Amino acid sequence: MTDHFRLTIAQLNACVGDLAGNAAQAREAWEAGRAAGAGMVALPEMFLAGYQAQDLVMKPAFVADCRVHLERLAQDCADGPALGIGAPMVEGGQLFNCYVVLEKGTMRAVMRKHHLPNYTVFDERRVFASGPISGPYRLAAGGPRIGTPICEDAWFPDVAETMAESGAEILLVPNGSPYFREKFDIRLNQMVARVTETGLPLIYLNLVGGQDDQVFDGGSFVLNRHGALAGRLPVFEEALRHVDFVHNGEGWHAEAGEEAPFPMSLEQDWHAMVLSLRDYLKKTGFSKVLLGLSGGIDSAAVAAVAVDALGPDNVRGVMLPSEYTSETSLDDARAVAANLGMRLDTVPIAGVRAAATAALAPLFQGLAEDITEENLQSRIRGMLLMAQSNKFGEMLLTTGNKSEVAVGYATIYGDMSGGYNPIKDLYKTRVFEICRWRNGCHRPWMEGPAGEVIPERVIAKPPSAELKPDQKDEDSLPPYEVLDDILRRLVDEEASVSDCVAAGHDRDTVKKVEHLLYISEYKRFQAAPGTRLSMRAFWLDRRYPIVNRWRDPG
């Protein structure tokens, strides 16, 4: 038996349903591993199909097509290292989340995921059957016996311990683990526990890239016995790394490799928004975006994310002023566009609004103006922006933050119109924080300019929808510091009204926020997808009924 073994890990970006494209990436990684003398090349969980494919994997024709591409990969990669890749497979009439090891033209080993996650964004029990715990495998070329717990299997001790007891000498854990804030330490602690329990070195290999609202953040790493970190790949970026294992008489040990820098939380959130928007457009066939640029902080933040994702030539802002739009807002919108280097067009809405008001006048005669007239302005803007999206083939971005999305402080078919919302999971107070961070920091993965891209005046001024004279957000909502703290408790922590009151909040204010939260569910049901940044993002993380008359009696 050889006392050296090289395992090439490929932290790559798959696209759901692009079987040919994903297989081509696998072949390229395999070629790189072969050139480097690897004994095995490994890709993440469900890489061939893309992840999460949701109910697509229940379509027999899709799974059959995955099998065809697996068999082609086996033949194409027969002369060289083994190739490990995740894919759905049907066996005995049951559908499994599998990890397949291809070697010398055959499927040398097939692992079936045992623990199926069924929480937050995961619903694997809906589509997959739980497989038996697999034993380890040894490759024809020799080297260590490898145990492969698939993602969730490594979050419990039984699978890894069973593999160790069956003779595994290293653990390779392929993952499709989506990002949420502060998740890396949670993953690391779980994997250290598996290493400590089994006494085996471990490779944690994660997917990277955006898929709908979810972002897979990579950050793959290697651990030796006692949880010693032997290497870490970058977050939010594709990477390929050769991991060398040496048998020292007591067992296999990973030689130390590069540890990529690990950024702070605000940078990770910004990178997640940039990557998710870039991938959402690329994978749906768009290359350009437009957005309503109001002069406010939310649209400025979305514009900056878009420019960092696509470059200034592919982002267009549109100012849609009414008689309530201040000259300050016009100046601020121009300043944002100039700082980012993007185009800004102006389409006044006064004429369209006058025509709509005149058309409705016979029906509205004798009725006082109210929120109807405010929403009419927003819907006119949405209509005009969608018309430009249709005409120019640019995806319209919507710009509501999590605070507004939570309490319905947005107009359905108006400013909620659009195909994607990068800041959908950012509370307003964090929007302020992250904009200041972006002004002070620039990274190589950003396509936008360095420096103050969002003018300080935009960040500092009181937020306003500018739908009536002298309007401020705080006329309708609690101050954002108060609102966001209540929302974090009610939404992110599922706290009670009495919990919020015990934390120092006024009960009437909490009840008002709770009421707005529940009655706005229908708006969120129809909202554009947006980047998931927390464990309680609106959509798959938090599934509430639209019709709901229950209120917390506390």
Per-residue pLDDT of the chain (554 residues; tens, 9 = 90+): 569 999 999 999 999 999 999 999 999 999 999 999 999 999 999 999 999 999 999 999 999 999 999 999 999 999 999 999 999 999 999 999 999 999 999 999 999 999 999 999 999 999 999 999 999 999 987 899 999 999 999 999 999 999 999 999 999 999 999 999 999 999 999 999 999 999 999 999 999 999 999 999 999 999 999 899 999 999 999 999 999 999 988 899 999 999 999 999 999 999 999 999 999 999 999 999 999 999 999 999 999 999 999 999 999 999 999 888 889 999 999 999 999 999 999 999 999 999 999 999 999 999 999 999 989 999 999 999 999 999 999 999 999 999 999 999 999 999 999 999 999 999 999 999 999 999 999 999 999 999 999 999 999 988 776 666 776 777 778 999 999 999 999 999 999 999 999 999 999 999 999 999 999 999 999 999 999 999 999 999 999 999 999 999 98
**3-state secondary structure labels for all residues of 221-251:** EEECHHHCEEEECCECCCEEEEEEEEECCCC
CA dihedral of residues 521, 213, 409, 551 (deg, nearest 10): 30
* DSSP category for residue 49: T
Residue 136 neighbours by CB distance under 10 Å:
22
Across all residues in the chain, what is the average pLDDT?
Answer: 95
In sequence order, what are the beta bridge partners of 217?
Answer: 208
CATH 3.40.50.620 matches 266-467: yes
pLDDT of residue 93: 94
pLDDT of residue 548: 94
Distance CA 146, CA 139 (A): 9
Tell me if the bond preceding 75 is cis, omega within 30° of 0: no
pTM of the model as a whole: 0.95
- 296 in a labelled binding site: yes
Distance CA 537, CA 543 (A): 10
- 297 in a labelled binding site: yes
Nearest alpha carbon to residue 396 among 519, 292, 298:
292
Q: Is 45 a catalytic residue?
A: yes
- Which residue out of 15, 151, 435, 500 is catalytically annotated? 151
CATH number of 4-136+144-257: 3.60.110.10
Which phi and psi angles does 271 have, rounded to 5°? -65, -40
Distance CA 21, CA 12 (A): 12
Q: Is 151 a catalytic residue?
A: yes
- Which residue out of 15, 77, 113, 169 is catalytically annotated? 113
In the sheet with 395-396, reading across from the earlier edge strand, the strands are 343-346, 315-319, 289-292, 395-396
Q: Are 227 and 295 in contact (CB under 8 A)?
A: no
Distances (CA, A) of 284 to 52, 206, 396, 444, 477: 16, 23, 13, 25, 36
Q: Where are the domains of the chain?
A: 4-136+144-257, 266-467
- 481 in a labelled binding site: no
CA 253 to chain CA centroid, Å, is 34
- 390 in a labelled binding site: no
- 299 in a labelled binding site: yes
- 552 in a labelled binding site: no
Distances (CA, A) of 518 to 70, 351, 425, 488: 46, 36, 17, 15
Residue that the structure tokens 């300019």 belong to = 449
Which stretches of 294-427 are DSSP H helices? 297-310, 327-340, 350-364, 371-392, 402-407
- Which residue out of 15, 45, 98, 402 is catalytically annotated? 45
Which phi and psi angles does 68 have, rounded to 5°? -60, -45
- 196 in a labelled binding site: no
* DSSP category for residue 489: I
* Beta-strand relationship, 221-223 and 229-232: antiparallel
CA dihedral of residues 374, 380, 385, 387 (deg, nearest 10): 160
- 322 in a labelled binding site: no
For 137, the token pair is 């495998």
- 298 in a labelled binding site: yes
In sequence order, what are the beta bridge partners of 9?
Answer: 42, 241
Q: Are 461 and 484 in contact (CB under 8 A)?
A: no
- 512 in a labelled binding site: no
pLDDT of residue 201: 97
| Residue range 191-236, pLDDT digits in tens | 999 999 999 999 999 999 999 999 999 999 999 998 999 999 999 9
Q: Are 206 and 218 in contact (CB under 8 A)?
A: yes
* Beta-strand relationship, 289-292 and 315-319: parallel
- 220 in a labelled binding site: no
